[in-house]
Structure 1
Amino acid sequence: MRRIPWYIFLFTQWLWAQTETNVEALRAFAQQKQQEWQQLRQAAEAFARANGIPIRQEFPDGTVIEIQKLVDGILYVYITHNANAAVTTRTDRLWPGGSLGLSLTGSGYTQLGEWDSGAVLTSHQELSGRVTQVDGATSLSDHATHVAGTMIASGVDARAKGMAYQANLRAFDWNNDESEMANEAASGLEISNHSYGFITGWHFDGLNYHWYGDVNIDQNESYYFGFYDATARDWDQIAYDAPYYLIVKSAGNDRDDTAPAAGTAHTHNGSGSYTDTHYDDGWDNGGFDVLRSAAVSKNVLTVGAVGDIKDYTDATSVQMSSFSGWGPTDDGRIKPDISANGIDLFSSIASSNTAYDTYSGTSMATPNVSGTLALLQQHYKNTHGGSAMRAATLKALVIHTADEAGDYPGPDYSFGWGLLNARKAALVISEDQYQNVIDEQVLNNGGTYSRTINATGNEPLKVTIVWTDPPGTPPAAALDPPDTMLVNDLDLRIVRNSTTYYPWKLDRNNPTAAATNNSENDIDNVEQVYIENPAAGSYTIIVDHDGTLTNGSQAFSIIISGIDEFTNPPQNCSPTLISPSNGATNVPLSTVIEWEEVPDATSYDLYFGTDGGGTSTPTNIVNGQTQTSNTYAPDLQPNTTYYIQIIPRNSQGTNSSCTTIWSFTTEGATEITAFPYTENFDNMSAIGTGNDWVNDTNDDGDWYVNSGSTPSTGTGPDQDHTTGTGNYVYVEASAGDVGYPHKTAVLLTPYFDFSTQNNPTMEFWYHMYGASMGNLYVDVYANGQWNTSVYQLEGQQSTSGTDWKVATINLADYKGGNVQRFRFRGVTGNSFQSDIAIDDVTIRGEAFHTFLAGSTEKYTFPNTGASVQFTVANSGDVTLETIKYDSDPGVVGTLPSGVMNISRERYWKITAISGTADGTYSLSLDLAGMSGINDYSTLYLLRRPDSSSPWTTVGTNNYSGSGTIVEWTGITGGFSEFAIGGGADNPLPVQLAAFQARSTTEGILLTWRTESEVMNQGFILYRKLENDTTWEIRADYLRHPALKGQGTTSRSTEYRFLDTDVQKGNTYQYQLADVDYEGKITRLKTVTITFTGEAIPETFVLKNAYPNPFNPEIHITFGLPEKRHVRLDIFDINGRKIRTLINDTRKAGWHTVTWNGKNDRGISVSSGTYIFRIQAQQDVASRKIVLLR
């Protein structure tokens, strides 16, 4: 009898496949695929036996490979994708005690599945009673057990706690997976995890190289990468027939697979021996186009792997792994879809019921996502009458709420749509009524979906649609065929008045380029329109389609956020103060206040202070109506009781019934304000016995004070850093102490206040010796926020028990607030040989660094423009401190021979604060902005021992020929003060020390000062309005005797001219020129000033920023009494630097700078409270500003 193909049968059931599970079609598909798999597997095993190829292999790193089928003479071989997850993806916020108050654990959730390389150890203490090995597989797999643990481990070992840690799991091995997936989908499975894929391109098995590709298609590259093949089609078909079943698939780890040396023998697809050449897998533009088969399916959720993230701040927080597979697909679709933590995940393995290990790979990132999705489905059912989301809805939700990652706004082919953010996704579910919309629709052939919404105007307007597209038709085998696999082409856009906003899309031919949004997307079944700064008001969302819809209609899911459709004020109050707990005592000053979020609130009235006694509302309201987050980072004082009242608010008002007042009392800590600060631990007998250094209690163990060697052999120091007989502190990795593997000990420093220091810097010495060395991280608390891993060391750094190393950390970016603190996090390695030690911690108010005895090192002192390359004598280490002064260094006596003048704009002081600086060194100085330089190559480096001594010339000018950095080499004789000198040709004949414009009540006063003049007849002042192109002579030495020059002189001379012919409000530019005896005119410098009719201030003045609150920009005005170096930074409320607006020298007078609400990467920041901090040399000020989108 002629068998009717399953796909013909399926298409008669199209209506069901849109909105209901097509059980009949899935069962037919399962039967067909089981027969196919059995036939192809038998052929593959026969081929393998004939060619001496193992059917299955397991490797020491946990990787497993197994032959699956033989198609057209080519083996298809599955491989597992190996290479703190809940914190990275914010899944912990959904757990009991999390900020959302949801208490989700996965308890009772039974619709979660796993296909993997073998059987899960169901009796493991983390999984016992909650895993069913459905297919009866008996070959235990570490990889499968690790993946299962990442999804559902109960947390017997807290480090291994899974995402949905009380959920149940249905497990299968990967053999015959498509048939089993279809049957499970027919029975109601909602989410399945697949951390494996076919070997593609290069594979090294520990002994031999293998290349998986088809040389008949392309010799250099495996055409399978990016190719929509039969497997991709089949997985799309399963998803299409099971609209409530979301398949979660690893992106693979092929990006860093490299080819062996030319001529190396290797197999083709596991057999034969060849010496031909093929590209590295990641050869394309640094690693693009390395996804295969199911990973390029349209309807699965493909997951990439990134590193661990403690505190997401912006896209730069997300660091790509070295291995994670990147898109595009051959037709240019956006893949992967999402990224999650896939590096160093600690989880259960199958060697015993208490065994654990740490694995990396997209195999690990994928269950991080799958387990989280189980919680999101559970939350949706809890809030939507027990109904589950369609797979397209869940996929749309994940994409819609992802955090930005990558170099540009929008999606890319590396991170996909960004980093999974479970907290945001859960909030959208909770707020699916007034602030957000989750909707499931069906678009009929020729139809249009339209919805009008009201944008808040103070946050982005974002709309995402996803649809489960019918399976595509694989193209003929070819390298990178561009055939579009999209079947039903829906189109999303947003319209306001005459403006149309289009979705993001990427260019397959330019994979590194930023996403664009200026036209329709006709290749993806995911579309998102993002309006970063919408004006408040009405917008219309439109979804229609191009062409004819296959099967007559297409179901789609839509997520909308950034809207305000409230009809009532918040109906609930925040029930819990999460951190610190209500009534807590001895609360650390480095505490961030956090309360449980209220779903229908858009902001909070936060009353916080020391008054009220707990019975009446504190008088101080923080940020008014703009406290949009549920966290607040105050500057806390020691031994103080604080009171908090939280009143939720939305556009309809506040919930006046929220009258609860919480309280807590801080610890009696003392801040250190005197610098330099040093700690060598010699006066401590144990941590906690002195000097306010303490061990954290929320970790795996403690740091210890020690002298001499540590108890373990082959690891740890033999003595302290300085005397050999003093103390140091360390982490003991042996069992019974901190232990291993990957155990953490956290050491907290005292509190500091270095906010008034110019250029604060920390230095400490570390010792990391041991064959299994772990990692050391330094975190900095500033402005109410822990900034994690501002410095990190990974793996063995020392070579012996006496090999101490030095680390230097610039702290200028962490001066926010009045409380700073440090946290040393030592993480042990894989064995006891991973002791970590530190010693001799120093904090100074200026940049400094220690150069090691007998070494040659180049170090750039931050924020000074100075770099020193120093060859240090063997007699001892040398510590140098460097300060840059933006002022006149002055001259005592006469300048050295050949030097005609000296720069009056800046100079440097480099001091050996310890050790004997008798070695040879080179000094590089960045002279950007220094006036009067014609030729960098003829500049002199001047040195003097102190300000009362004359200058001498040192070093040889070794200018590179480009840029503003000049290096002087071969310097001896120690360090002191340095300045820049010029000869007859450099700087200019008139050495101009200053040229300033000052607005007065009478006009614009122009003043300038020369330090020397050569054959100078006099000066010409040119003037024009700022936007004009033509200069006019406003005054010259022929008509104004006060502008006559001094001829040739080495004396300093001051000049002035008052321009009274000015109009208030006009902005003028003045240019100063000198005329030598030969009539040559040399233009020296230009200044710009707006005539205000006000006098230049006598002291530094900061005016109120305006408008405040603001959208889209704010103006900051300040006045300088004289020329100064100014730095103006924007910080968020947690003290993280957002933008540097000014970091240069400004003239005397009034200045206005504008901030457009974007960070240093040009990406708009969200609504909220920000702080700007301005430092004009000795004057420092800060103000709060409010951005309302």
Structure 2
Amino acid sequence: MRISLSNFPTRTTHIPLLWLLTLALAFLPCLIVGAAAPTVTGIRFSNSPPDGQHNFYTVDDEIEVEVTFSEAVTVSGKPRLTLIFDDASISDEVYATYDDGSGTSTLTFTYEVAEGERDHDGVAIKANSLKLNSGRIRNAADEEANLAHNSVSEDSSRKVDTLVTYLALGEEHVPASPILFNEIGNAARTAHDWIELRNTTNKARSVDDWELSIITKDKDDESIVKLPDEEIPANSTLLIVNRDPGSTPLAAGIEFGSTDKGYGAKHLYLVAEELELPNDGRFMLILRDDDRDTGTLRALVDIAGNHFADTSSVPLDAGNVWVRDERRDGHEKNAWEEAEYTGLGYDRGAEDSLSNGGTPGYDNEAIKDRISEFDSEAQITISEIMLTTGRGRVPQWIELYNNSLTDAVNLNGWHLEIENYTSEDVLVSRYAKITFQKDLYVLPNQTVLIVSNAARTAEKYAFPSGTRVYNLYDRHRDDLDIESRWDAVLSQEGFYLALADRRSPNKPIDEVGNLDGKRQTRDEPTWELPPVLTEDGARVSLIRRYGDAKNDGQAAARDGKKRNAWISAANVKLVGDTYYGDTTDLGNPGFRAGGPLPVQLSSFQVEHTEAGIVIKWATESELNNAGFNILRREAKEGEFKPINATLIAGAGTTGERNTYQFVDTTAKTGIVYYYQLEDVSFAGERQTLATHRPRGQLSAAGKLTTTWGDLKRQD
């Protein structure tokens, strides 16, 4: 617009004031170009969680947010904006309040994390949530700011958890607690999850009023179990499971707090039905010495896991067993590693897999590699020998037995010396010394086989996945000069065997046979071996005799170089139909005769009384018997289920007669029940002893009895 003086009045001496003001207001928009209210141009988080907290804010930490405007603004009052937590015990939305920046274009809003709040996905900012809250945000021209803004999505580097304070520890911090999380079994099946606590001291420790809890994405420090008023023995472990170990791959043990301390294996277990470990490994276990402090940072004893991080930080995911380096804090990644399979702590039928790794219920050092590490009464002995190949059709085998009730041994690197009498049945070297070349674990009170060649077996329970068998043909055919896989490696007329550990190859820990074992001599057998075949051609093994069993089940082997140390399997009560080679074999491969034998029943009775159905049974002898289970079903083809809440304690090892009684108070009249009696050895082995079916319905007057002749062994 062009302004000309010719437009003004010609008389300039007096210009009315009102006329001038009107003219100024008319042209003011032309002089002030582009004026507008302040707007939000950016919004972001401006701080990060403190170092050492793994991307987590915790109690009393401040979350800061910067809001940038198009121009400097002045703030009065307490404007606020909304933060979103994915899991907060108070609310999913919390408010960051104005803190600083008035007079500039950048304002800071802060929120202080409160007890009980958590967000494992990352804090977010809600769109258009900046509110004046009775305050003001305006520019120098006193114009109110436009508060519209975008959202800020979840940021995994800014999470929230109120239990992380305990974890702000130096990387070299060593836990001072005497009881630690030692192993964790996160099974693919939740029903098989377990946790092992270890007493690292030389004296028993009480766990009265202690509590184990878990934090997961869906659980905020939730109790798993409160420990009873009992003690974990010195240098021992407590296994926490969610059901009786007998219904899982784990070996049976002694229930924590049980008055029956047992005669054999001493590992303890406690059933915690609430135990359930997430398969993704995102959890933290917390052990406290006061159950009143759940959900707080007080009374912490130990932790395991890193629930607030991804599995790349602390990998405790499913399908594996994890073992702890006790020098490290349980939240550190390098505190845990995958445990290998050994079989120790598991039912002998458990498969060889990482899901059955570790040594549940046993000390981490329970697997030895030399005899000097065993206690004074423990022995690794040659317990049974099959001397014939059955006319070259099936392999010979040598059974080794571990009589320790607490320790296992790895035979990798051990030595076996073999001397043979020169006879027609043996074509291999007269003398040889071999060194075992793979991991071969002999578990407490159990056995392994050294075989001349692989063969079939009816008892897969005794030899699961071949883990208890060592094949000489596969690994030592050159050492022994074996030409055919069916060649005999032991003479039926005379032999000598010596077993030595890896550290002392020239100091045998066991010697058996009727030769002297000296390579430079060609001696004659000092005594005649028993027949190796029956009259009808069945193979018969030689079974070693052991002395009288002690209360703890251990028994010393007789001198294996003397005739009276051996007996023909034809003259021994055998454990079921076990064989390695031929179905007609007479022998006990996989089970030491005189070791974990089945309980010998003499009677089994069922009687209906006013108190319920009374089940009675008697045993003539028991060996390594932890106890019994009573199972019941209502249909002929139904599933037998245990009805006793805890194991009915057995007598351990005894040659005396014992009687037992159990009352089924849940049975209903008018129903035909089937009952089954099962025994459980200290090694965790289970065997059905008898099945009973009442003839007709039970009545108050009916007494139903079976005797030994009526008992039926179940496969």
Q: Judging by fraction of residues, say which structure has more helix.
A: 1
User: Does TM, normalized by the shorter one, top 0.5?
Assistant: no
Q: Which has the larger radius of gyration?
A: 2
